[in-house]
Amino acid sequence: MTTPDPARPGRSADSPAPGSAGAAIPEQPAGDRPPPTERRASEGHSASADRPAARDEPAPAPEGRHAPEGQPAPEGQPAAGDRPATEDGHTPGEQPAPEGKPDRPNLGDVVLRLDGVVKTFPGVRALDGVQLEVRAGEVHCLLGQNGAGKSTLIKVLAGVHRADEGSITWLGQPFAPASPQAAMRAGIATIYQELDLVDDLSVAENAFLGHEESRAGFLRRRSTAYRTRQILARLGHDHISPRRLVRSLPAAGKQIVSMARALSHDARLIVMDEPSAVLAHDEVRNLFRIIRELTAQGIAVIYISHRLEEIRDIGDRVTVLKDGRTTAANLPARSTPTRELVSRMTGRTIEYVFPPRASTAATEPLLQVEGLTREGEFADASLSVRAGEIVGIAGLVGSGRSELLETIFGARRADRGTVTLNGKRITSIGGAVRAGMGMAPEERKSQALLLDEPIYRNMTLSSFAGYARGGFTDTGKERAAAAETAAALELRPRGDVNRPIRTLSGGNQQKVVVGRWLLGGTKLLLLDEPTRGVDVGARAELYQVIHDLAARGVGVLMVSSEVPEVLGLADRVLVMREGHLIHEAPASEIDEATVLDLVMAGSLMEGEPA
Amino acid sequence: MSNLSRRRILFGSAAVGAGALLTACTSNTPQENTQVNTNNEEANPNAAPGQKVVIGFSAPAADHGWIAAITNNAKAQAGAYSDVELRAVEAGADAATQRAALATLIAQKPTVLVMLPHDGKELNAVGLEAMRAGIPVVNLDRAFPDRAAYRLQIKGDNFGMGIAAGTYIGQQLKSKGVSNPVIGEIPGIDSLELTQERSKGFAEALATFGFKVANRRPADFTADGGQRAATDLLQALPKMDALWNHDDDQGIGVLAAVNQTNRKEFFMVGGAGSKAAIDAITADNSVLKATVTYSPSMASSAISLARLIGQNKGMSDLVELQVPKEITLASETITKENAAKYAKLGF
Amino acid sequence: MTDQTTKASLPAQSPPVEAPPAQARARGNWFKSDGAEPLRRNLGLIGVLVVLVIIGAATRPELYGDATWVKNNTFTILQQASAIGVVTVGMTFVIIGGGIDLSVGAIIAVAGVWSTTLATQSYGTAGMIFTALVVGVVVGLINGVLISYGRLVPFIATLAMMVAARGVAAQISGKQTQVSANTTINSIASTRWLGIPVLVYILALVVAAGWVLLNRTTFGRRTVAVGGNPEAARLAGINVKFHTLLLYALSGLCCGIAAIMLTSQATSAQAAMANLYELDAIAAAIIGGTLLSGGRGTIIGALFGVLVFSTITNLFAINNLSTEAQNMVKGAIIVAAVLVQQFRYKSLTQLLGRSSS
């Protein structure tokens, strides 16, 4: 995530430049679009009358206490809500209105309004007066750091939690879903980051899970399959067979199934929680295409993402949350400066701070990897890391980078090749740890943390035996050592290392994982996506931590999907594509565009994906 | 390094030694005590070798001394005849496996079929099927409800056991002049019909003396189960006059519990008639003063009678030319006085 | 004890909107926090025990009026809980470590039968104890190897072992009840030191050792890590497979100890002994707050779980109530304990608050 570059070809190809969109509201460019007259007839007053009004309407201003810096001025900004209808050939009129819900809103109508919503958990005021307004057919982005209340807000909408205070209006009616089913029935579908699909059921069974079509208790498999096929076609994915097992689908396919489930409920609002986190670049494009088609059909989308780029690409309006409050509402997604968005999220104005790097002295390599190969994952990988050096591997998900890292750590058995650390051959995790290697894996919660255990036990997970005497643990020493490391890493909240690690934010959990290896006296640290799920503010701190480590002589080998991160942090950059390390260069001698080009193998330059 | 390897060697040799010792420890030849009728030809003309008889035999897998004794007795008795070939199939753990085992047995067309079913009701159909196929069925102990399903039924008397135990306890207490006695009972698995019959007989016999059971704690026919039940019972009844334990196998545990709590103020009656129980009664050094029989010797008798059926012979003491249709063993009371006589029937 | 539990639940019933004085809130919050969950649960179990005793005293006042009887009864309850308690300690470790051991009853049977064969008995007391312990550990190791290195699901591996080990026991014993002629072994169950039965000392020793092992040693720390998040433990350099193997061996060792205790109590062993101990041990562990999915659990809680069961049995015995009713009550208690575990403390008080308002 970096300051968006409007000149980047990948983006300008599919999204019109800000300013031009506004002018294009009522008019459809010619081409493969339906005849404008037909569209007018169906959309009629809503498009031409309501929308400009909606656009000019000032953003519902949250009370002053929530937005100390005042509201962004929406005047003159093109209403982002227009874009879906203009860009894609689909219009609401084309879509046969599903039966049963007569009060289908027109494009641009406000469908959902939250006012002063409060939700309290023991000891935490997760939502503290949230304002939100979502219109039919728009992509409304929700921006905020981890812990800002986005997840809680989603769960309130999805019927998982009930708001303690405030009002929620859905399609003009007061709305307080008692259960996720009730929310679904009302037309609000939620697609969580961790998709809630049943792997061993088919696509159709998953799409209709919980509201299976049946007659006298017998499933109507044929009709379910037919309806699923229809929905998949609507999503532009009719090549997915309804009978296929969800297990066999890639992450992107599973997301399609989740969306199919939402549509099977005839959802009017789809909430997507970081849908792009599990997707590769071209899959994200496909997702955006689908979202545009859905919004063109009048469906509203609440889109949550950490990636500003995406928000600019797909979003119409942005609402920013901080500490459970709305700090800015209905900012135009594309034209609001990054500086402003970040400042509303964090109170800071700079997005990334990469600490200056002192050049490392040329020493003997600490880690030496020679011809490492795992069939089907990566081949013939050779690299080296010196003490105090940060080496970054840039590559897409699926390029084999995580597998390479795990193999170096001994967590996977290599088919060929050697890993040596300080001259010692590494073949197992135990050996790697003993030799002074540590790893912060990609999936923090499932691969690194004991969520129910206190911070200090997580921090001493690989070193507690060292503090023990004759097999008896010394928790006093452990606590002291953990507290010292926690202070050095500026772990927040400060002080208490007895808190369950579950209560920490993603960034602070990552610090604990790094601290674990610091305590173990690690000489080489492997970092797999160190800032995934870490909010912008905490990232800068993590970068500082990584630099400090290197300054102390620890070698770092890191993997990241975010090219600026690799370039900003590393001394040396390796590019990985399809299981091969294809390029190596000092970070100072390579730029983002080059790396991106290498990573994508030119796919970025081809413009529109197929 | 050397330290480590020395530890490994030590550990290794310890493990090998332990293995050797343990393997040796499985050698286990318990004194098998079978009851076999060894009449010779002079005493009984029926004992003379006759037409060859193939006897199919099926009893549930034994997890209990009594059932083990049934199978052992059947095998031993068959071995005593030169004209009998025993084809025994183990009936596994439930009625369904026994049904399957019997199907293969019936297919082999034995002359006579002797079976102790898991459950008389559930295996009734198998009895009928064999009878229709022309194979006479000797139904051992657990009765088929359908009279057409067996040629001969030979069984113990569970109700009679209860009566015998109740009567003995009643008489003893009457003769001691105890007016309002505290009587305990430790049945076996309470859900079994045989247990319920025994308890019913016991209660009815006691009622004739105006007595009743003060507390009953079911066990599970195992010694450790008996010990647990007895401990609970002894705790619940700080003073007791008499105790009937349904089964001598679990009685080992019951007696252990009695010894562990140092209780001597009552006397105890056992059930089934195991050798250990008969020995204890003879020795007269514990609270166990009597046991009421439910003897696995019926398996030996069943084989003998199956042979006679197969050879179309009758029981020589009876006028009839054929073996009778039903035989119910009387439950006898073994006390110190007659223990010597029953010693050979103990299992 | 009951006072304490009721007092604890009182402040939670008032709506938490009004902030109480900082210190009081801190203390109250700690009690309501996740960290205090084991303490709350143990207090709850003690409360249940107290209630059971009160019911006993109310229904049989003449027995409870006798101090000697009460003392003896307490020892009886503890003695009845001793063998199963030892097994439960091992089971708790296995479950915290993310597994399950369905074969404990069968391991006791093999160990008990193997140690009471005529050949083993000829080696004397030490030979019998050695055999029982080694057989228990070896069978546990086989479980562990199947699960760790054979990658069998613990449920399947130990289910298979449950069946197979009973078979081995039946084979060795020839389906007979094997009487122990060893007076030293037999006297363990009847001997008292300082007025307290030896079996109770053994239980106390195993529980204490289990507590120390779980809470104060690297072994215990590894157990929690392996059960809480095996992948995290593995990537932190813990040998998860080997540790899992050790856990099943530990469970086997506990079974070996229990086999000696049971043999001593019944003065005999047989293939059908320790029937359904696996279910009792699992139930006791669960009641004691051990998470069936692993990663969390307490030894003390498990001990209380066993004691609750043992006390219920005792209560039903002294009132001459049928074992059927007893089993129904046991089932209800298991369900109630798990329900309490699922409802977080907060939501439970909310539930109570809602229904009362």
Q: Classify residue B282 by its DSSP letter.
A: H
- Spell out which residues of chain C touch residue A516, defining contact as CB-CB under 8 Å: 236
User: How many inter-chain contacts (B to C, CB under 8 Å) are there?
Assistant: 148
Question: Among partner residues A434, A439, A450, which is closest to C228 by beta-carbon distance?
Answer: A450
**Contact across the interface for A430 and C217, Cβ inside 8 Å:** no
A194: its two tokens? 């961790």
* Among A317-321, A445-449, C22-26, the least confident range: C22-26
Minimal Cβ distance to C232: which of A122, A450, A464 = A450
Is it the case that residue B95 has pLDDT exceeding 60?
A: yes
The pLDDT score that the predictor gives to residue B25 is 65
Give the model's confidence band at A74: pLDDT under 50 very low, under 70 low, under 90 confident, else very high: very low
Question: Is the pair B, A in contact (3+ CB pairs within 8 Å)?
Answer: no
Query: Residue A103: what pLDDT?
Result: 54
Alpha helices in B26-148 (DSSP H): 65-80, 95-107, 120-132
Q: Do domains B47-156+296-313 and B158-293 have the same CATH topology?
A: yes
Chains B and C touch (3+ CB pairs under 8 A): yes
Contact C176 B30 (CB under 8 A): yes
Total residue length of chain A:
610
Nearest by CB to C231, from A432, A447, A498: name it.
A447
Token look-up 């090998």 returns: B16
Chain B contact for C268 (CB, 8 A cutoff): yes
Average pLDDT over residues A94-121: 69
- Which range is most confident: A4-8, A174-178, A431-435, C258-262? C258-262
pLDDT value of residue C106:
96
Q: C316-332 as b/e, with b when 16 or more CB fall inside 10 Å?
A: bbbebeebeebeebbee
Chain A residue closest in CA terms to C213? A472
Quote the pLDDT of residue A558: 93
CATH class of residue range C2-7+37-345? mainly alpha
Is the pLDDT assigned to residue A228 strictly greater than 80?
yes
Q: Tens digit of pLDDT for each residue in A270-289?
A: 999 888 777 777 778 888 88
CB-nearest partner of C216 from A433, A452, A472: A472
> Cα distance from C59 to chain B (closest Cα, Å)?
12
pLDDT at A592 over 80: no
Whole-number pLDDT of residue A254: 85
Contact B50, B64 (CB under 8 A): no
Chain B: residue whose CA lies nearest to C113: B26
The CA-based dihedral angle spanning residues B228, B231, B235, B236, taken in that order and rounded to the nearest 10 degrees: 60
| Residue C278 confidence (pLDDT) | 93
Q: What is the pLDDT of residues B201-230, one digit of tens each?
A: 999 999 999 999 999 999 988 999 999 999
Tell whether the model's pLDDT for residue A22 goes beyond 50.
Answer: no
Is residue B195 pLDDT above 80, yes or no?
Answer: yes
Q: Which amino acid belongs to residue C10?
A: L
So what CATH class is B47-156+296-313?
A: alpha beta
Residues of C whose CB is below 8 A from A432 = 237
Q: Do C232 and A452 touch (CB under 8 A)?
A: no
State both tokens at B265. Answer: 């103020």
More confident residue, C46 or A595: C46
Q: Best mutation site among C27, C235, C354 for testing chain A: the one with the most A CBs within 10 Å?
A: C235
pLDDT per residue as tens digits for the range A128-174: 889 999 999 999 999 876 667 888 898 899 888 888 889 999 998 89
The reported pLDDT for the residue numbered C308 is 93
Residue B267 · residue B242 · CB < 8 Å: yes
Position A19 pLDDT exceeds 70: no
Provide, as residue numbers in chain C, all residues whose Cβ is less than 8 Å from the Cβ of A123: 29
Whose tokens are 């701190």? That residue is A541
C163-180: per-residue pLDDT in tens? Answer: 999 999 988 888 788 889
The predicted structure's pLDDT at residue C9: 37
Question: In this structure, what token pair is assigned to residue B29?
Answer: 């030849």
**If pLDDT is split at 50, 70 and 90, which confidence band does A47 have?**
very low
- Domain segments of chain B: what residues? 47-156+296-313, 158-293
Q: Residue C94: pLDDT above 50?
A: yes
What's A377's DSSP letter? T
The encoded tokens of residue C201 equal 């000392």
pLDDT (mean) for A421-448? 90
Banded model confidence at residue A68, pLDDT cuts 50, 70, 90:
very low
3-state secondary structure of A483: helix
**Which residues from chain A sit within 8 angstroms of residue C229, using beta carbons?**
446-451
Any C CB within 8 A of A446 CB: yes
User: Quick check: A386 pLDDT over 60?
Assistant: yes
| Average pLDDT value for residue range C32-42 | 73
Q: Please write the tens of the pLDDT for every residue from C321-332.
A: 888 888 888 899
Sign of torsion over alpha carbons A446, A452, A454, A456: negative
The closest CB to that of B235, out of C73, C179, C270, belongs to: C73
Q: Does A476 contact C at CB distance below 8 Å?
A: no
Give the neighbours of chain A: at least 3 Cβ pairs within 8 Å.
C
**Residue C19 distance to chain B (closest CA, Å):** 52
Which of A100-114, C19-33, C85-99, C253-267 has the lowest average pLDDT?
A: C19-33
Mean pLDDT of B246-272: 92
Contact between chains at C236 and A498 (C-beta distance less than 8 A):
no
Cα separation, C302 vs B211, whole angstroms: 43
Work out how many CB contacts closer than 8 A connect A with C: 80
What pLDDT shows up at residue B33?
64
Q: Do A462 and C237 touch (CB under 8 A)?
A: yes
Among all residues of chain C, which has the CA nearest to that of A461?
Answer: C236
pLDDT at C28: 57
How crowded is the C-beta side of B155, counted as CA atoms within 13 Å?
Answer: 21
For A345, phi then psi, to 5°, come to -75, -40
Q: State the pLDDT at residue A124.
A: 65
Looking at the structure, give the CATH architecture of the domain made up of residues B158-293: 3-Layer(aba) Sandwich (3.40)
Name the nearest CA neighbour of C273 among C260, C285, C283, C284: C260
Euclidean distance between CA atoms A255 and A237, whole angstroms = 11
Contacts of B72 (CB under 8 A, 6+ apart): B32, B34
Whether residues A446 and C219 touch (CB distance < 8 A) is answered with no
- Rounded CA gap, C73 and B235, in Å? 7
Contact B252 C130 (CB under 8 A): no
Band of pLDDT at residue A538, cut at 50, 70 and 90? confident
A34 or B24, higher pLDDT: B24
Place of tokens 């994508």: A600
Interface check A223 vs C, CB under 8 A = no
List chain B residues with CB under 8 Å of C306: none
Interface of C with A in 66-85 (CB under 8 A): none
**Facing residue for A452 by CB, picked from C235, C296, C346:** C296
Of B22, B62, B232, nearest to C134 by CB-CB distance is: B22
Contact (CB<8Å) C225/A450: yes
- Nearest Cα of chain A lies from the Cα of C245 at a distance, in angstroms, of 17
- Cα–Cα dist A192/A195, whole Å: 5
SS (H, E, C) A226-289: HHHHHHHHHCCCCCCCCCCEHHHCCHHHHHHHHHHHHHHCCCCEEEEECHHHHCCHHHHHHHHH
Instruction: DSSP for A203-234, please give it.
Output: HHHHHTTTS--EETTEE-HHHHHHHHHHHHHH
Q: Lowest-confidence range among A286-295, A319-328, B34-43, C141-150? A: B34-43
Helix (H) or strand (E) holding A115: strand A110-121
C220 interfacial to chain A (CB closer than 8 Å): yes
C131 touches chain B (CB under 8 A): yes
In chain B, whose CA is at the least distance from the CA of C180?
B252
Q: Looking at chain C from residue 2 to 41, which residues have their Cβ under 8 Å from any Cβ of chain A?
A: 16, 29, 32, 34-35
Residue type for A547, please? H
Taking the Cβ of residue A339 and every Cβ of chain C, the question of whether any pair is shorter than 8 Å is answered with: no
- Look at residue C353 and tell me whether its pLDDT is greater than 70: no
What chain A holds in terms of domains, given with CATH numbers, is 1-66+104-187+267-351 (3.40.50.300), 199-265 (no CATH), 365-436+523-532+554-602 (3.40.50.300), 447-521 (no CATH)
Q: Which residues of A are less than 8 Å from C239 in CB distance?
A: 430
Interface touch C266/B226, C-beta < 8 Å: yes
Which chains reach chain B with 3 or more Cβ–Cβ distances below 8 angstroms?
C
**Which among C232, C239, C296 is the nearest to A447, CB-wise?**
C232
Terminal Cα distance for chain B, rounded: 59
Q: Chain B neighbours among C 151-210 (CB < 8 Å)?
A: 170, 172-179, 186, 189-190
Residue to mutate among B11, B23, B28, B116, with most C CBs inside 10 A, is B28
Contacts of C228 in chain A (CB under 8 A): 450-453
Tokens 């699909």 belong to: A197
Coil, strand or helix at A325: strand
Give B 188-247 residues with CB within 8 A of chain C: 190, 214-218, 220-228, 231-233, 235-236, 238
The Cα B330–Cα C343 span in angstroms is: 60
Q: Does residue B217 contact residue C317 with C-beta atoms inside 8 Å?
A: yes
